[in-house]
Amino acid sequence: MEAVLFFLAAIGALGGAVGVVAMRNPFYGVLALIVHLFSLAVLFLLLTSAFVAAAQVVVYAGAVMVLYVFVVAYVGGDTESAWEPIPGQRFLAPLLGTALFIELSIAVLSSSLLALGTHGPDVNPGFGDPAAIGRLLLERFLIPFEASSILLLLAAVGAVVLAGRNREEGTSSEHSAPKARSEEVPSSL
Amino acid sequence: MNVEWYIVLSSLIFAVGAMGLLLRRSPVVILLCLELMLNAGNLALVAFSRMVGNQQGQIFAIVVMVVAACEVVVGLGLIVAIFRRKLPLDVDALRELRG
């Protein structure tokens, strides 16, 4: 049962990952990533980490993906040009990806981590549930928890600064400055 | 299931993400591929945490999730800013900083 579930989730995760890379329209890529994230949540449940699985579904597949969908809908779909600036990029990239996978597998599986061939120790039923994770987060890892909350605040402020309308652009130079830039950039190619 | 299956799956997902990063030119898809790679790292962290029987690796995975959310927010903000200035959304066309 566990093996069947693992292989189903693994096929979902891999299919989602390949879909993200292969889909030409970014919108379908986002949908493929949602499939991938749900499959990963199933894998996390199989590894008896319920809280991480729940956070994966709520934070990733919920919040982050909605952000992606909004931005893709805002900037529009297929923006990828057929022009290929690096010759042979279409063939070199899968080659390098395969090489990276072989290298990672050799590095992990042939290392001295003999314990990799185990299920892991038998754990009590409370392993990885919200109570245990919350106790760890608020007692032992309180400082990283607070630091990550500061990081989230900084990222939110940074996004507002980046994506918000500039004050100079909004008033006088709205007609001169952006136009000059948009003419300058394609000519420099 | 043995832990090595999870680790092999994680390295496979990481390699697919890296391949997409090399292959695609739209910034949105590049951010999606970054997500793939971060999630592969998360899977390896949780698998090792299960192997050792210690929950601290899951805390690490949650922190990675927070960092990924921040990266997404800033990256999508950059994409929206690029789009508003009517620059092309193509990482090969945006090479003013290339020197």
Taking only the tens place, the pLDDT of each residue in B6-32 is: 888 999 999 999 999 888 888 899 999
Interfacial B residues in 42-61 facing A (CB < 8 Å): 42-43, 46-47, 49-53, 55-56, 58-59, 61
Domain containing A9 — which CATH number? 1.20.120.1200
User: B74 with B82: CB under 8 angstroms?
Assistant: no
Q: Please determine, for residue A134, whether its predicted confidence score (pLDDT) is greater than 50.
A: yes
Terminal CA-CA length for chain A: 57
Binning pLDDT at 50, 70 and 90, where does residue A168 land?
low
Last residue of a domain, one of A40, A59, A77: A77
A88 found inside a domain: no
Q: Is the dihedral of CA A53, A58, A62, A65 positive or negative?
A: negative
pLDDT of residue A79: 58
Look at the domain B3-98 and name its fold: Helix Hairpins (1.10.287)
What ipTM was estimated for this complex? 0.91
Residue A105 lies in a domain: no
Assess if residue A135 is contained within a domain.
yes
**CA–CA distance from A2 to each of A9, A41, A42, A46, A126 (Å)?**
11, 14, 11, 8, 19
Domain boundary among A19, A45, A77: A77
Rounded average pLDDT over A154-172? 74
Full-model pTM: 0.84
Chain B: give the shortest CA distance to residue A9, in Å.
Answer: 10
Greatest mean pLDDT among A110-124, A170-184, B19-33: B19-33
Q: By CA distance, what is A99's nearest residue in B?
A: B15
Q: Is A82 inside a domain boundary?
A: no
Q: How confident is the model at residue A84 (pLDDT cuts 50, 70, 90)?
A: low
Burial of A188 (0-12, 13-18, 19+ CB in 10 A): exposed
CA dihedral (B76, A43, A103, A109) positive or negative: positive
Choose the closest CB to B62 out of A52, A132, A165. Answer: A52
CA distances from A33 to A5, B32, B55 (A): 19, 7, 27
Q: Which helix (H) or strand (E) holds B65?
A: helix B56-84
Q: At what angle do helices B27-52 and A26-46 cross, to 10 degrees?
A: 0
What residues contact A38, with CB distance under 8 A and at least 6 apart? Answer: A12, A57, A61
pLDDT at A91: 83
Nearest CA-CA partner of A161 in B31, B43, B80:
B80
Inform me whether the C-beta atom of residue A98 falls under 8 Å from chain B C-beta atoms: yes
Q: How far apart are CA A24 and CA A50, in angstroms?
A: 34
Q: Which tens digit of pLDDT belongs to each residue from A47-65?
A: 888 999 999 999 888 888 9
Q: Which residue has the tokens 């959304």?
A: B89
Chain A interface includes B30 (CB < 8 A): no
Domain ranges for chain B, please list them: 3-98
Q: Which domain, by its residues, includes A7?
A: 1-77
Query: pLDDT: is A178 or A88 the higher one?
Result: A88
Q: Is the pLDDT of residue B99 over 60?
A: yes
CB count in 10 Å sphere of residue A125:
7
Cα–Cα distance measured from residue B20 to residue A98, given in angstroms and rounded to the nearest whole number:
12
- The overall average pLDDT reported for chain A is 80
Confidence of residue A183 (pLDDT cuts 50, 70, 90): very low
Q: pLDDT per residue over B27-73, tens digit each?
A: 899 999 999 999 999 999 999 888 888 888 899 999 999 999 999 99
A120 located within any domain:
no
Structural domains in chain A (count): 2
| Dihedral sign computed on CA atoms, order A11, A16, A19, A21 | negative
